[in-house]
Structures are given as structure tokens and as C-alpha cells.
Structure 1
Amino acid sequence: MQNFPTSLVRLKLNGRNSGVVSFAKAEEEDMCGSSSFLLPSTLTRLHIIDFMELESLSEGLQHLTCLQHLGIWSCPKLDLPETRLPSLSSLSVCGASPELKKKCTSRKGKYWPIISQIPCLCLDFY
């Protein structure tokens, strides 16, 4: 279990060779293993980079009520949260899977209704 300071507002995580598959839900804090960890609820800016095994952010970001900026780079297995984080004012996604690209870029895509409401949106797919 990773212990971050409770006052932390900016965090850049590089997951190269980490094996992390998900971020923990707040209520799972005491049960987290080495493949999951809890992010501090005080974060306003989060960058997630090179998490090759990370699959989902849905559960792990729901308690981040102050999060304004989310950047995701080179996380090929990652899927976006199922619901929009109300405080999010910018989202940057680069180097995601072709499946995620389809879900985000098509007006009929699964995530378009969620991400199209974010004021600053940068989608750059390989």
C-alpha cells in the first residue's frame, strides 16, 4: 500500500514495470495489495504515465472530488471512468488503445457524452 501525504495536490505517476492493474476504492484502503493503491482525495492534478497493465480508473477516481486535470499517457489497456468526474476541467489522453480511441472520438462512442462536457479536451491517439 502506497501512503501519500493527505495534503498532496499534484501527482505524476510513472508505472513502468509496476504491474498495477487498478487504483483502489477509498473503502478498500486497508485491503490493498501490491497491484493496487489508493490515491489521496486532495489531488487537483494527476498524470498517469506508462502503466502497461492498468485496465480501469472507474473505481479509483470516484473519491477524487477536487481533481481538475487528468493526463493519461501510454496506458494501452486503460479504459476511462464510466462516469464523469464533476470537477474535471481538462483531460489529456495520449497513446491509448484503438478501442479507447473509437469510444472517445466517435460522436456515437461510449465515452463521448462524458468527455465532450470537459472544457479542455486533448485526445492524441497513435
Structure 2
Amino acid sequence: MEFLECLPEECLKSLTSLESLHISGCTRLTSLSLGMQHLSSLLHLSIGDCQKLDLSKDESGNFLDLQGLQSLQFVVIFNLPKLASLPQWLLQLSNLERLRISDCVNLKAIPHQIEALQSLQWLEIFDCPSLTSLPEGMRNLTSLTHLKIFRCPELEERCKRGVGEDWYKIAHIPNLTHELDDYS
């Protein structure tokens, strides 16, 4: 759907039983629709390869509020050049168990509010070279059992076991993996 510029709200309203949604390759898509809040059964959301997509704003340019997505358990975000920080609606998903972020070259920050994701068990961050540190909120993610970081050079250095500047934020996570572990 290379010519899709917005997701029609009318179509999304009738998809209340939809459990999985994959949005990819929509090169002209600039925002998600407020209609997504009607996807109350959505468990898995994958969004990527959308060069103009801004996950934080709706079609009117207002901050996107997707309160209806509370069933979401797994979110994959990949190759979104406009992503500089995780959107607020994502940080309000109380049932989110897995989050994978990859190929977001301009991602500079994971907000402290990530601590609100108390059900988060898996966090994977791949190919996000502009991400240089983790927030203090990581310490409060007590359900987080798996953290994988690959091809994020500065972040990997800061998360180096026992000596990295951010190590204390993630030391409680039982399963940690990053490339620098191989060279320790």
C-alpha cells in the first residue's frame, strides 16, 4: 500500500475482533489513526518500513492517544526514521509483555516512563546507533526477564556487565545479551 497516506478511521471501527495487525511498506503514511483505539482485541502490532510515519501524532497533528489498545501484548517497531523517542501511547500499554525495536537510526531516547510497563518481560533493541543510554525507569521493570541489545555501540558499552555506566539500571535482569558480552 505504497500510496496509503492515512488509515481510514471508519474501517478500523469495525475491526474490534482483530488480534494482529502488521503495517509495513507504506512509504507515504504519516500518522496512525485515532480509529486504532477501537482495536480492543489487538494482541500483536507490528509497524515498520514507513519512512514518513510519526508514531506520536494523529492525522491532525495532535498527540496520539490510543487508550483502547490495552490488550496489546507484543509490539514490533522497525525501520522508522522519524522515531526519535517512544510515543506516549506505547508507554501506557499496561499488558505489554514484549517490545522489539530495530533499525530506528534516529531513536535517541527511551523515556523514563517506560517504568509504567510493569508487564514487560522481553525488550529487544537492534540497530539503533543513536540510542546512547537507558533511562532510570529500567530499574523499576521488575517483570523484565530478557534484554537484548545488538548493534547499538554506545549503548552496549554503557550496559557492559559490571562496569558500564548503565549497568546498575539493568543488573536485576536475569537474561542479558549484547555483542560486547562476547568480548568481555
TM-score > 0.5, shorter chain as reference: yes
In 2, Cα distance between equivalents of 1:114 and 1:90:
14
Aligned residue pair count:
111
Percent identical among aligned pairs is 32
Q: What TM-score does the superposition give when structure 2 sets the normalisation length?
A: 0.54
Gaps of 5+ in 1: 26-37
In 1, Cα distance between equivalents of 2:65 and 2:179:
30
Rg larger in 1 or in 2? 2
Indicate the residue corresponding to 2:20 in structure 1: none
Displacement of 1:60: 4.4
User: More displaced, 58-67 or 115-124?
Assistant: 58-67
Displacement of 1:61: 1.3
- Counterparts of 1:1-126 in structure 2, within 5 Å, are 1=64, 3=66, 5-14=69-78, 16-25=79-88, 38-39=89-90, 40-78=93-131, 79-83=133-137, 84=139, 85-97=141-153, 99-105=154-160, 107-125=162-180
Write 1 or 2 for the structure with the bigger share of strand.
1
Q: Secondary structure at the match of 2:128?
A: coil
Question: Is this contact kept in 2: 1:22–1:60, CA < 8 A?
Answer: no
Query: CA 1:92–1:2 in structure 2 vs 1: closer, same or farther (change >3 Å)?
Result: farther
In 1, Cα distance between equivalents of 2:72 and 2:125:
19
User: More displaced, 5-14 or 103-112?
Assistant: 103-112
In 1, Cα distance between equivalents of 2:97 and 2:80:
26
Query: CA 1:106–1:95 in structure 2 vs 1: closer, same or farther (change >3 Å)?
Result: same
Q: What TM-score does the superposition give when structure 1 sets the normalisation length?
A: 0.76
The structure 1 segments of at least 4 consecutive aligned residues displaced by more than 4 Å after TM superposition are none
Question: Is this contact kept in 2: 1:7–1:42, CA < 8 A?
Answer: yes
* Paired letter, 1:43: L
In 2, Cα distance between equivalents of 1:124 and 1:90:
15
Please provide the CA RMSD for this pair: 2.0
Displacement of 1:106: 5.2
Q: Which has the higher contact order (CA 8 A, sep 6+)?
A: 1
Q: Secondary structure at the match of 1:61?
A: helix
